Structure formats: structure tokens, C-alpha cells
């Protein structure tokens, strides 16, 4: 999941943290919209560990909401809209409630968020030799 859903999840987390910490520019921005394909949706939901493997319907959509309570705490709610026949339904990240505290959400998703591409892309086989660049 680190190479499929992880990069988008990292972008979403960084944007969400900036909004929660009031460091987002432009100031006052209320929404981000990310576009992709059915594979983008299934990869992101897989990274969040909430994907029930199925063929995504046309127009499937994930909603990730940042909530702020009166005590200054932030939380995340995730919804899936996979049909126009009913409202989006809430998803629960494993290890959390439907409203997941932002810090806990970040901690739970940390294993699939890319950090060091060089290290992540290293071959496990110490004898591996990359193929030469260019035509054979």
C-alpha cells in the first residue's frame, strides 16, 4: 500500500494537518478536492484498511472530513459514496471510532505513508543488479 494509496494519503494528511494547525495557504481555504480513477479510490481505501474488495461503481467518492470541537481537538471522519441511491456512509478506520482523533489517524496510517523512497525501493536481494538503461 505504500506505493499505491500511500502517496495520496500523505498529501491528504499534510493538507489536513496544515488546516488543523492554521498554517494552510491561502488562508480560509475550506476544501480540497482530489480527482482520480477507480484504482485511486480502491488504493486509498485499501491503505486506510476499509476497502471491501469490489468493482467501484462509476462516480464512487471518498469524503474525508476534518472536524474541530470546542476543546480545540481535531478529528477525521471518512465516508464512502458508492451509489446515488443513498447518502454516503461512514467508514471506521481499524483501531479508531467513526470520529478518529487526527493524531491517532496519523499514527494508524503511518505504516503506509511513504517516508524514504530510496530505502523503500531497495531490493531485498543483495545480488540484484538493475537492468541497464536504454534499449538492449
Q: Which long-range contacts (CB under 8 A, 24 or more apart) does 92-95 make?
A: 92/50, 93/48, 93/49, 93/50, 94/49, 94/50
Residue 133, in any domain of the structure:
no
The pLDDT score that the predictor gives to residue 16 is: 94
Residue 48, in any domain of the structure:
yes
Residue 17, in any domain of the structure:
yes
The pLDDT score that the predictor gives to residue 106 is: 96
Residue 121, in any domain of the structure:
no
102-109 vs 6-20: helix axis angle to the nearest 10? 160
Domain count within the chain? 1
The pLDDT score that the predictor gives to residue 51 is: 87
* Angstrom distance (rounded) from CA 14 to CA 24: 10
The pLDDT score that the predictor gives to residue 52 is: 83
Q: What is the pTM of this model?
A: 0.82
Stretches in the chain below the pLDDT threshold 70: 1-2, 120, 136
Residue 27, in any domain of the structure:
yes
Residue 51, in any domain of the structure:
yes
Q: Which of 4, 14, 10, 17 is nearest to 75 (CA)?
A: 17
Instruction: Give the domain extent around 57.
Output: 6-108
Residue 34, in any domain of the structure:
yes
Residue 14, in any domain of the structure:
yes
The pLDDT score that the predictor gives to residue 2 is: 56
The pLDDT score that the predictor gives to residue 136 is: 62
Strands (E), the chain: 61-68, 74-81, 89-91, 100-101
The pLDDT score that the predictor gives to residue 72 is: 86
Amino acid at each position: 500500500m505504500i506505493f499505491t494509496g500511500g502517496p495520496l494519503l500523505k498529501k491528504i494528511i499534510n493538507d489536513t494537518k496544515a488546516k488543523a494547525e492554521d498554517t494552510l495557504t491561502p488562508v480560509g481555504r475550506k476544501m480540497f478536492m482530489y480527482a482520480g480513477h477507480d484504482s485511486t479510490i480502491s488504493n486509498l481505501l485499501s491503505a486506510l484498511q476499509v476497502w471491501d474488495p469490489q468493482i467501484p461503481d462509476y462516480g464512487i467518492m471518498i469524503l474525508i472530513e476534518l472536524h474541530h470541537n470546542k476543546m480545540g481537538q481535531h478529528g477525521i471522519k471518512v465516508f464512502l459514496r458508492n451509489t446515488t441511491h443513498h447518502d454516503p456512509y461512514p467508514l471506521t478506520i481499524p483501531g479508531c471510532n467513526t470520529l478518529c482523533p487526527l493524531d491517532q489517524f496519523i499514527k494508524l496510517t503511518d505504516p503506509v505513508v511513504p517516508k524514504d523512497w530510496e530505502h523503500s525501493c531497495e531490493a531485498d536481494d543483495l545480488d540484484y543488479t538493475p537492468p541497464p538503461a536504454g534499449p538492449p
